[in-house]
Chain A
Amino acid sequence: GAVVSQHPSRVICKSGTSVKIECRSLDFQATTMFWYRQFPKKSLMLMATSNEGSKATYEQGVEKDKFLINHASLTLSTLTVTSAHPEDSSFYICSAWTSGTYEQYFGPGTRLTVT
């Protein structure tokens, strides 16, 4: 149980385009989903917290107009990187939190490369 999927696992896009990453909790309802960014050989940086049906809360320094987060249901959150640039290339990881276990369950991550 407690499986979180992300799609796509890898994506390459051209500079200036937008890309959407989906995060789904497959067998539980997630009250809250978190989006992280991980740079090579670095720890995870929390980008934003999203609650179903409400606007995401962004961490300091994260551009909300660039990283659009939608949490349309208790099992789906999406992160859209708008007008992507090479510096946005990174590993993006989502997690889903459930009040059932008070734990976060992590997706496998999405490798974004902007050319």
Chain B
Amino acid sequence: GNSVTQMEGPVTLSEEAFLTINCTYTATGYPSLFWYVQYPGEGLQLLLKATKADDKGSNKGFEATYRKETTSFHLEKGSVQVSDSAVYFCALSVPDYGNKLVFGAGTILRVKS
């Protein structure tokens, strides 16, 4: 089946620290991979995506590389800010699954000044 596993949080970091949130997946087909961010009280926003192996998605200083050999799509940022505090969801979509998104459990990130 299709599933996404991401590291449980909360992750608490100091401002300017390096961030890694691990995400691995299983998929029956060739998935597209996504990271979504949810700020308190809001819906989800697409942060970045990658549609094929070795693609690197990047946005707002965040990046993730589609690693087919390790079935991973880890999210990284070199220097986090307080404003990055949010919940981050890793997700996949498989074309023959009706374009549905399968989400990981979400990781709460808290950045302290």
Chain A, interface residues (CB within 8 Å), range: 20 to 34
Contact of A109 among B43, B103, B104 (CB under 8 A): B43
Neighbouring B residues of A4 by C-beta, 8 Å: 43
Task: List B27-50 residues whose CB lies under 8 Å from chain A.
Answer: 32, 36, 41-46, 49
Q: Cβ of A43 and Cβ of B43 under 8 Å apart? A: no
Q: Cβ of A102 and Cβ of B99 under 8 Å apart? A: yes
Neighbouring B residues of A18 by C-beta, 8 Å: none
| A interface, CB within 8 angstroms of B | 4, 6, 32, 34, 41-44, 46, 49, 57, 93, 95, 97, 102-109, 111
A-B contact pairs, 8 of them (CB 8 A): A34-B100, A42-B106, A43-B103, A43-B105, A44-B89, A93-B43, A106-B36, A106-B45
Neighbouring A residues of B46 by C-beta, 8 Å: 103, 105
Majority secondary structure, B binding face: strand
Chain B, interface residues (CB within 8 Å), range: 20 to 34
B55 to chain A, nearest CB (A): 14
Task: List B43-78 residues whose CB lies under 8 Å from chain A.
Answer: 43-46, 49
Q: A42-B106, A105-B46, A109-B43 are in contact. List 6 more A-B contacts (CB 8 A).
A: A34-B100, A34-B101, A43-B89, A102-B32, A103-B49, A106-B44
B98 at the interface (CB under 8 A from A): yes
How far is it, in angstroms, between the C-alpha of A42 and the C-alpha of B41 when the chains are bound?
Answer: 13
Neighbouring A residues of B98 by C-beta, 8 Å: 32, 49, 57
How far is it, in angstroms, between the C-alpha of A49 and the C-alpha of B101 when the chains are bound?
Answer: 11
